[in-house]
Structure 1
Amino acid sequence: NAYDYAHPDDLLKIAKDLGEPPLIMMLDGVTDPRNLGAVVRSASGFGAHGVVIAERRAAQMTASAWKTSAGAAARVRVARATNLTRQLKAYQEAGCMVVGLAADGDVELPDLDIADGPLVVVIGSEGKGISRLVGETCDQLVSIPMSTGLESLNAGVAAGVALYSISQARR
């Protein structure tokens, strides 16, 4: 039973139809389907308009991802892009700001002043983070402030924290 993927442009239309500034999550190099499911669940809980994944070398919407999403996958569209960098540029041309979560980000998440506008949030893999090309395409790199010692959060947790912070700014 194959999952019916959206096209990345569909996610902009979903936001437009709701009269809301787009809020799109993109996963870069996340290979664990349970992490994808957790991101979809957070996206649903905090009003994101969809999740973009790469067609290759990335977790797909498998039964495991669907199960972890706890039903959220029925409400939040997952889109596949052949090339993440190219897709980010298309989103930028459509008026979105692109922020990447990075441990060494220039700005801390609570200080992000563009959170209430059209936004794409890129989350990399645990350990490796976002890839170089994707990082260079981001308008801003943002860090989640944490107590020292812990280097990275898994994608599902990072997405939840980022989406919560953004949802507060959009109130």
Structure 2
Amino acid sequence: MAGNSQRRNRRTSSKKGAQVGTGGHSRKALRGKGPTPPAEMRKGHAKQRAANARAKQATRRPQQRRGGGRTSSELVTGRNPVVEALRAGVPASALYVQQYIENDDRVREALTLANDRGIPLMEAPRPELDRMTNHMNHQGLALQVPPYEYAHPDDLPEGAFDVSEDPLIVALDGVTDPRNLGAVVRSVAAFGGHGVVVPERRAAGMTAGAWKTSAGTAAKVPVARATNLTRALETYQKAGMTVIGLAADGDLELTELEALEGPVVIVVGSEGKGLSRLVGETCDLTVRIPMPGGAESLNAGVAAGIVLYEAARRRA
């Protein structure tokens, strides 16, 4: 008969009796765990495996091409630098994120920007990030910038001739600040130039800092790297181009320089030392920028911008 079972511990009612409470300790289980992370950050997900493979491929040492070649990959570290680089459109092959990182506004913005651009997100433990960044203060974020592929110096005038224009090229002699290189690239883009040439040694290269200063214009202005800048300038001269060096004691003032209307290479030296001896002797002309305000010199980015503007004005 129902309710008269002799079996021990048999429930005879469907109603639950009094139970011991948890004291609120299980409330944490009810809290949300935040938005679902992107597929590239989910352990074991197919997209994460594909992202890992792409990142490993990007870190391999690439082959050099026709005298131009590539630089090695670079890591931008720290939350603010990484966010600024992503905002500026600096190309990146992977964003490394520390496991269990504190999810503040900068981290969220970095993840959003990287995800929008299709940059692989790689989760790494703190010791691995320390090793990758040589124990720099990475704050849990590291952006891998792929190697920059330099053009060959001969490519720059060829590109101008292909569109039936007189080449307008800037060569940098002894400029070691990547921000100056980025500023020159930006000015070349603004005033219709056809590229920038830098020496292979003792000179700034296309780093993340140069990319940021160029404000994205480095994506369309070729930068060539010359093994020997003097020989590259001599090759340009043989191709019919006038090589013009900027110097404080130049032979002509900028406003008198009619050569800017034709195919030219503008050579800019460092702010402190100016043009090196061999490069200065190779130049066909030297020109000075009039400075009625009395300043002794201008940095490379500003000086190149002024001359490029004058060239664009004359050509127009």
Query: Is the counterpart of residue 137 in structure 1 residue 264 in structure 2?
Result: no
Structure 1 consecutive aligned stretches of length 4 or more whose deviation exceeds 2 Å? none
Cα shift at 1:148: 5.0
Alignment-mate amino acid for residue 222 of structure 2: R
Query: Is the counterpart of residue 7 in structure 1 residue 152 in structure 2?
Result: yes
| Pick aligned residue for 1:50 from 195, 212, 218 | 195
Cα shift at 1:60: 0.2
| Pick aligned residue for 2:174 from 14, 22, 29 | 29
Query: Is the counterpart of residue 109 in structure 1 residue 270 in structure 2?
Result: no
Distance in 1 (alpha carbons) for counterparts of 2:216 and 2:293: 35
Which SS does the other structure have where 1:91 is aligned? helix
| Pick aligned residue for 2:210 from 65, 69, 74 | 65
Deviation readout 1:58-104 (Å, 9 max, x if unpaired)? 00000000110001101100000011110000000000000000000
| Pick aligned residue for 1:146 from 291, 296, 302 | 291
Which SS does the other structure have where 2:295 is aligned? coil
Larger radius of gyration: 2
Report what 1:97 is aligned to.
242
Query: Is the counterpart of residue 77 in structure 1 residue 222 in structure 2?
Result: yes
Distance in 1 (alpha carbons) for counterparts of 2:217 and 2:159: 16
Distance in 2 (alpha carbons) for counterparts of 1:139 and 1:46: 23
Any gaps of 5 or more consecutive residues in structure 2? 1-145
Distance in 1 (alpha carbons) for counterparts of 2:185 and 2:222: 8
Root-mean-square deviation (CA, aligned residues, Å) is: 0.7
Query: Is the counterpart of residue 127 in structure 1 residue 269 in structure 2?
Result: no
Count of residue pairs brought into register by the alignment: 171
Report what 2:139 is aligned to.
none
Alignment-mate amino acid for residue 193 of structure 2: A
**TM-score of the two chains, using structure 2 as the length reference:** 0.54
Report what 1:156 is aligned to.
301
Which SS does the other structure have where 2:310 is aligned? helix
Higher relative contact order (CA 8 A, sep 6+): 1
Deviation readout 1:1-31 (Å, 9 max, x if unpaired)? 0001000000011101111000100000000
**TM-score of the two chains, using structure 1 as the length reference:** 0.99
